[in-house]
Amino acid sequence: MAKKTVKAAFVAAVLGFAGSASAQTPTMPFEVHGNFQLDAQYYLKDSLIGAPEVPESILSNGFGNIVVSRDKFSAGIRYESYLNPMLGFDSRYKGSGITYRYATYTADELEVTLGNFYDQFGSGLIFRSYEERNLGIDNAMDGLRVKYNPHPGVYLKGVIGEQRFFFDKGPGIVRGVDGEVSLSEAIQSWAEHKTRITIGASAVSKYQKAEDPIYKIPNNVLAWSARTTINRGGWRVYGEYALKSNDPSLENASIAFPSGIYKNGYGAYFNTTYTKKGLGVSVSAKHIDNMSFRSDRSATGNVLSINYLPALTKQQTYRLATLYPYASQAKGEAAFQTELFYNFKKGSALGGTNGTYVSINYSKSANLDTTGTNNGLGYSTNVTDTWSNLFTDFAASRYFEEVSFEIQKKVNKDLKVILNYIYTVYDQNLTGEGKDTVTAHTAIAEFQYKINKTHSIRTELQHLYTLSDRGNWALGLVEYSVSPSWFFAFFDEYNYGNEDADKRIHFWNASMGYTRGANRVAVAYGKQRQGLLCVGGVCRNVPASNGFSIAITSSF
């Protein structure tokens, strides 16, 4: 009851403010905008593909945001409804209600936010609250945030709050401060320097009362980090280094250490890019040890994370190329990624009349070197890793390795061809799906053809070859679109290489959609294979399903 009263008072205050303010200055009323999304599916039981019977038959996820703003003030709410949550989403989402409400104002160099907010420090190694609605991830903070800009190029930030846990909040309190200084903006004499340097530092502390009857668990856990960005000409170098005090938790627990381990955490992330017209190169490395950081030490999965550890792998978008995706391992990981983008100019030998675009990606993620340890944890507990171990860790094992190669070629003004080859090695132990390491070769050809001013057709042919797991797959897709509103698509994902002849299934899907302005409605019917759906390096397991689905999105 108390919560509802608070919500009502909050909205009443916002609305009251809106009314009075617009009454005083009718020429500048408040602006009200928002958006809406609904996904619903009618499920059919399909024991062959493993689609379970859904007692409700229909499941749906929906939300709507309303934002009221004027000048330096804005306030908003989001109403969410999961009746009941769609398959693949955590069942704890069940229910409806206002899950997000905030008010924020800016007064000169100060910005204050009350209520919910999303934010991150640096690349997020010690703090990132964010939402990924399609994955069911939302660790929004609920509390206070102050941003202060005392001097040009100097940005200070302070946050305090609890994190969202479905329709509730987590048990811990998160407090953090962050400072960033852009030296070329802050120091006048540096303004003309060719080298531009930005430095930053942050600290985040988590409080959760410890109630372990045997072990003395720390109530407060502190993490801190430092970072720098250096830009010069086409070069950019970014580095971030983080440390975390010991934080025994369910995630670093084992049979030998049932309450978790008392070891400090460490994380380092490095990226350098070089660009010039027609060329781009990016090299990244990441090394983390015991960096799971949550506002509930008993939480696992995609909930109550305080920090974010980006996966250093290419975000694949073609369907078969996402069959074996990788997610960061917060326990410990050494990872490396390099990407090259190049455009062969028009008129050059390889560029032809329209130019040729190529991109190459290499990425590898490895477990930490566990030589000499036998603690049931699968990684070193003795010493906290440091930069110096990066290369031995990197060489010691392999969670994931991928090489991909892409060519895009505009053949003439109406036809474009995109070719991909991807070599993937994936350790299935990571997701508990299976025991073998899968080696897969995937080849993809896409053709985009413009028929006339408004009609176009796009086709994809994909093939995945592997001797392990479920064997070979083939996929064919045809998409026909009529600008500006209609699309029709059909694809068939066929597991023809499955050893079990009964499981050589056609996962086919037919869909169509209508778009007008910012409103879009799409309907689909078909079978979906079980698999991981990944966005931004975090994944959610999507179970097999068969049925009819509808998706509506809208903004105003």
Partner 1 sequence: MKKLLTALTLVVAAFSAQAQSVPDVKIKNMEGATVSTNTIANDGKPMIISFWATWCKPCIKELETINEVYADWREQTGVKLVIVSIDDARTTSSVAPFLNAKGWEYESYLDVNSDFRRAMNVNMVPHTFLLNGKREVLDQHTSFAPGDEDKLFEKVKAAAGK
42 vs 357 by CB, closer to partner 1: 357
- Count residues binding partner 1 (CB under 8 A): 91
Check: CB of residue 516 under 8 Å from CB of residue 492: no
Q: Burial, 457: exposed, middle or buried (Cβ in 10 Å; 0-12, 13-18, 19+)?
A: middle
Binding segment (CB under 8 A) for partner 1, from list 127-135, 209-217, 291-299, 419-427: 127-135
Identify which range of 82-90, 255-263, 333-341, 419-427 contacts partner 1 by CB under 8 A.
333-341
235-254: which residues touch partner 1 (CB under 8 A)? 236, 238
The verdict on 463 binding partner 1 (CB under 8 A) reads: no
Select from 378, 339, 380 the least CA-distant residue to 360: 339
Burial of 100 (0-12, 13-18, 19+ CB in 10 A): buried
CB of 191 to partner 1, least distance (A): 11
Neighbours of 478 (CB within 10 A): 13
* DSSP code for 297: T
Cβ 404 to partner 1, closest distance in Å?
Answer: 13
Residue 412 touching partner 1 (CB under 8 A): no
555 belongs to the binding site for partner 1 (CB under 8 A): yes
Q: Which stretch binds partner 1 (CB under 8 A): 385-393, 430-438, 454-462, 490-498?
A: 454-462
Q: Is 264 in the site for partner 1 (CB under 8 A)?
A: no
**Under rule CB under 8 A, which residues in 20-49 are in contact with partner 1?**
29-35, 37
Q: Which of 488, 405, 409, 494 is nearest to 447 (CA)?
A: 409
| C-alpha dist (Å) from residue 54 to 85, 500, 548 | 11, 26, 13
Q: Which is nearer to partner 1, 311 or 438 (CB)?
A: 311
Q: Does 275 bind partner 1 (CB under 8 A)?
A: yes
Interface positions, 168-207, toward partner 1 (CB under 8 A): 182, 185, 196, 198
Binding flag, residue 208, partner 1 (CB under 8 A):
no
Rounded Cα distance, 240 and 228, in Å: 7
522 close to 511: Cβ distance less than 8 angstroms: yes
Strands 531-535 and 137-138: unpaired
**By the rule CB under 8 A, 429 interacts with partner 1:** no
Structural element, H or E, at residue 20: helix 2-24
Q: CA–CA separation, 237 vs 233, rounded Å?
A: 11
SS3 199: strand
Q: Does 119 bind partner 1 (CB under 8 A)?
A: yes
Enclosing H/E stretch for 16: helix 2-24
Task: Tell me: does residue 74 bind partner 1 (CB under 8 A).
Answer: yes
Which region, judged by CB under 8 A, interacts with partner 1, from 138-146, 266-274, 426-434, 468-476? 266-274
Does 335 bind partner 1 (CB under 8 A)? Our answer is no
548: β partners: 42, 525
- Closest distance to partner 1 from the beta carbon of 250 (Å): 25
Q: Does 483 bind partner 1 (CB under 8 A)?
A: yes
Assess 66 for contact with partner 1 (CB under 8 A). yes
DSSP sequence for 188-226 = GGGTT-SEEEEEEEEEEEEE-----SSS---SEEEEEEE
Nearer Cβ to partner 1, position 47 or 315?
315
- Binding-residue pattern over the window 490 to 529 for partner 1, x denoting contact by CB under 8 A: -----------------------x-x-xxxx---------
